[in-house]
């Protein structure tokens, strides 16, 4: 078992083998973790929020659900979920997003850069768009089809546990948004525990 702390507004990547477990733990509560992964042997295959939504026919991802790749193959299974509310609609925060909503993009730390930089350490080419599983992110859709972001429901120590269904390189970024309710207006660290299947 290996434990890591992803400090606030930073990212970290990890190689996983099929059958390994990865636990994503909200240390202080109300902190989103952007989760993304690529196939360890073919970087052209990667986690797809769109394919996952399509396969489940739902925006709700929780215990026993499968995360799919862009090739519609199972990549992870969520085997534990203490919260039950996560997001698959919103892309990674990035400079352009901060410019659009908050007019402060220049130099702002963001999950898009954190994930690409962390994956580059494993030789993964940069992605031009990133749509992760936003673990603990609390989004909903109103009757007028408006997307609403509220503070996460996660409490200190809440976690999700995912089982790798293929060899993968996983990257997790502790979300950088302090300007709105996404992280309860305060960025905090995330803990990761990897349990080997071997």
The residue-averaged pLDDT of 42-48 equals 97
Checking if the pLDDT of 198 tops 80, the result is no
What was the pLDDT predicted at 148? 96
Torsion 7-99-38-126 (CA) sign: negative
pLDDT category, 104, cuts 50, 70, 90? confident
* DSSP β-ladder status, 21-26 and 190-195: antiparallel
The residue-averaged pLDDT of 46-73 equals 97
| Phi, psi (deg, nearest 5) at residue 16 | -125, 145
| Average model confidence (pLDDT) across the chain | 96
Burial class (CB in 10 A: 0-12, 13-18, 19+), 128: exposed
pLDDT in tens, 116-162: 999 999 999 999 999 999 999 999 999 999 999 999 999 999 999 99
> Would you say the pTM of this structure is higher than 0.85?
yes
Q: Locate tokens 């390189």: which residue?
A: 169
pLDDT category, 197, cuts 50, 70, 90? confident
Residue 1 to residue 169: CA distance in whole angstroms: 17
């Amino acid at each position: 078992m290996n434990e890591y702390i992803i400090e606030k507004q930073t990212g970290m990547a990890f190689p996983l083998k099929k059958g390994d477990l990865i636990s994503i733990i909200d240390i202080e509560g109300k902190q989103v973790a952007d989760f993304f992964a690529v196939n360890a042997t073919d970087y052209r295959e990667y986690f797809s929020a769109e394919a996952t939504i399509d396969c489940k026919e739902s925006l709700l991802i929780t215990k026993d659900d499968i995360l799919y790749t862009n090739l519609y193959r199972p990549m992870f299974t969520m085997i534990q979920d203490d919260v039950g509310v996560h997001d698959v609609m919103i892309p990674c925060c990035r400079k352009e997003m901060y410019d659009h909503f908050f007019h402060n993009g220049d130099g702002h730390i963001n999950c898009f850069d954190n994930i690409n930089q962390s994956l580059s350490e494993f030789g993964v080419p940069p992605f031009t768009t990133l749509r992760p599983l936003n673990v603990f992110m609390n989004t909903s859709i109103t009757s007028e089809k408006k997307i609403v972001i509220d503070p996460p429901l996660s409490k200190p120590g809440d976690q999700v546990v995912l089982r790798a269904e293929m060899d993968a390189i996983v990257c997790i970024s502790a979300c950088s948004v302090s300007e709105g309710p996404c992280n309860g207006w305060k960025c905090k660290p995330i803990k990761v525990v990897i349990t080997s299947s071997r």
